[in-house]
Chain A
């Protein structure tokens, strides 16, 4: 079982600032089966990034993903008001697991 650890737990930032979220895996994630999801209160999660760095359809280019092996990063270049939410990383191989989430809140 791969354990994903996200940091920080909460990120307090202002609109326009850059957000950097980390996801570390307990063992190597095969074929970069690493995704990022955004969840707003009362909504289902939404796919942002898959394959560690590919944006899903309709996702703005201020969202970018990077990393390989055990260390992955989601970067939001300039936070918009609608970006304040909880973000989860996920390895989606044969036995998917989620990280515990990072909340991006308004400072």
Chain B
């Protein structure tokens, strides 16, 4: 069974750093991309970026470039999303999701993590 299991909720202060995780199981972790999606309170879904754990190829949405860092450790089938200096506006639910890329083209986000709630407040 394919599963993406995310790390638990975090409460941080502005200016602090944070790294949240997404562990994949039940499939070949290095053969699929892992994307990150933000959902601010009461708002819609925003695509942040994506990483291919096989070779760490990473792509960012222009809206999030320079604001976050996406990485992966294929040895433990885990992808990460990190901030060096959090802001109150980073308060949101963050989801990871799996995306395939075949010779014929992209596949949709077929499996999702349960989400990690990040709260940034002084």
Contacts and interface: CB of A to CB of B under 8 A. Distances in A.
A96 B63 CA distance: 12
Contacts of A31: 105
Interface stretch (B7-15, B66-74, B75-83, B106-114): B106-114
Which bucket holds chain B's interface residue count? 20 to 34
A57 B113 CA distance: 17
Q: Per DSSP, are chain A's interface residues mostly helix, strand or loop, or mixed?
A: loop
Interface in B95-110: 95, 97, 99, 105-110
Contacts of B97: 45
A84 B37 CA distance: 22
Interface stretch (B23-31, B42-50, B84-92): B42-50
A72 interface: no
Interface string A4-38: 00000000000000000000000000010101010
Given A1-B62, A88-B44, A88-B45, A35 B109 contact: yes
Contacts of B53: none
Contacts of A56: 108, 110
B46 A98 contact: yes
Interface of A: 1, 31, 33, 35, 37, 39, 44-47, 50, 56, 88, 90, 92-101
